[in-house]
Amino acid sequence: MKTVNKALRRGKMHGQYRALSNHWNRGRNVPWLNVSGLWLEDAGFNVGDPIEIIVSKEKLIVKKAYCGVAIK
C-alpha cells in the first residue's frame, strides 16, 4: 500500500492575463496560483484569516498573521 505524505501538496502554476497601462504592450500572462482545500483548514487556516506570504527564489511560505504580524 502506498504511503501518502500529507505535508506535501503538488499543483500547477497557471497563467492569468493582466492588462498593462502602456501603449507599447497591451498585456501579458502572469503566473497565477490558486490554493484551496480542506487540508488548509486542517493546517489551521480559516476563511477570512489574514496571511503573510514570504517570497524567496523558487519558494513561497504561507503563514497565518495576527494583527498584521505573522506568528513564528
| Domain spans, the chain | 35-72
Residue with cell 503563514: 63
**Per-residue pLDDT at 64:** 94
Predicted TM-score (pTM) of the model is: 0.70
Please name the residue ranges forming H helices in 1-72: 38-42
Q: Which residues face 14 on adjacent strands?
A: 32
Per-residue pLDDT of the chain (72 residues; tens, 9 = 90+): 555 677 899 999 999 998 887 767 788 899 999 999 999 999 999 999 999 999 999 999 999 998 756 566
